[in-house]
Structure 1
Amino acid sequence: MGCGKPTNPISPIHSAGCVCDVVRAILDIQNQAVQDECSPCTSNCFLEPLGGIVSPARSAADTRVFMLITKDGTPFKAFFSSPSADPCICTSVFFRVEDMFDECCATLRVLEPLCTFDSSESTVDLLSRDGCCVNMKKICKVDDWNSTDSCITVDLSCFCAVQCIADVDLGICN
């Protein structure tokens, strides 16, 4: 199945799109992980293993961090506010799915990108000097994330790709 292309070339019926399907699967996996960690029954054999992106043994993950790629091949970016971030550094390309509705719409939590190199935690400014574009080299410096209170509603059919980055524990269940 291709992005927004018919699953059957003979039939004009279109699927909601591969990005919608992937984000819906991420939400299902996250919801299952939160339910498992918050409930006493954690041995269900049918559970998806959230935490497997980093390490299969990681059991404290509650979020699958991902990026959305626009039709022109660039990462989708959104603004966030965070008490730990410099007010001038407020753009991220990293998200956590919170909810899906209609056929292909989602509420995403914008995640604050962090660098924890040398045991100091700082927000990574992902934008280029002119502030218009994402500096791809800076994305490589991100090795951790904070949850923010900033959410955005998107139509997932507007994107061509989704890239999963890591499974992390943001304390969503706490």
Structure 2
Amino acid sequence: MGCGKPVSPSSSKGCVCEVVRAILDIQNQSVRDECSRCTTNCFLEPLGGIVSPGRSNVDTRVFMLLTKNGTPFVATFSVDDCMDCASVFFRVEDVFDDCCATLRVLLPLDRGGDTVDLLNSDGTAVSLRAICDVTNFAVTDSCITVDLNCFCAVQCVADVNLGICN
């Protein structure tokens, strides 16, 4: 059993791959499901069901990936042509081949719309306290391609409207 869903013995795809594929499917369709026991379950439908079940004007399920040592996966993105920003928040753009995915790096914002610096004071690791300050997200132009088999967990964070054209 993987990620709350049965995994067939013939399936070679990992749990994270299965969840990210499901997120992509949910982002690409509109399906109604009124009840769920876990309000941040990545398989929760429809898009908009995480945190605010009645919300219908959403286009993205924001999620984080955890590495095999349990730390959030970090990607950089550029602001004003400088690669000096880091984020742990993503939107899936595509899943292809054997569990590869294109992810859009999302800009972490606080309640006031200001960028949240997720790195610790040395800039060497993610500050878990800073993650708690993130309440909103914005689109960046940075996309990365990852092998989903390299991660041990995926955590869905929120359903939001980023104004993404599908």
- Give the TM-score band, short-chain normalised: 0.7 to 0.9
C-alpha distance 153-49 of structure 1, shift in aligned 2 (>3 A): same
| Superposed displacement of residue 15, structure 1 | 2.3
C-alpha distance 137-45 of structure 1, shift in aligned 2 (>3 A): closer
Q: Does structure 1 retain, via aligned residues, the 8 Å contact 2:76–2:83? A: no
Q: Does structure 2 retain, via aligned residues, the 8 Å contact 1:106–1:156? A: yes
What does residue 60 of structure 1 align with? 57
| Superposed displacement of residue 32, structure 1 | 1.3
| Superposed displacement of residue 45, structure 1 | 6.1
Matches within 5 A, 1:56-135: 56-82=53-79, 90-116=85-111, 120-135=112-127
Q: Structure 1 runs of 4+ off > 6 angstroms?
A: none
Give the Cα–Cα distance (whole angstroms) in 1 for the partners of residues 32 and 51 of structure 2.
21
Q: Which has the higher helix share?
A: 1
TM-score (norm 2): 0.83
What does residue 28 of structure 1 align with? 25
Give the Cα–Cα distance (whole angstroms) in 2 for the partners of residues 45 and 92 of structure 1.
31
| Superposed displacement of residue 2, structure 1 | 4.0
| Superposed displacement of residue 168, structure 1 | 0.1
State the identity %: 68
- The unaligned stretches of length 5 or more in structure 1 are 34-43
Q: Does 1:157 align with 2:149?
A: yes
Give the Cα–Cα distance (whole angstroms) in 2 for the partners of residues 125 and 152 of structure 1.
20
Q: Does structure 1 retain, via aligned residues, the 8 Å contact 2:76–2:84? A: no
- The unaligned stretches of length 5 or more in structure 2 are 34-44
| Superposed displacement of residue 54, structure 1 | 1.8
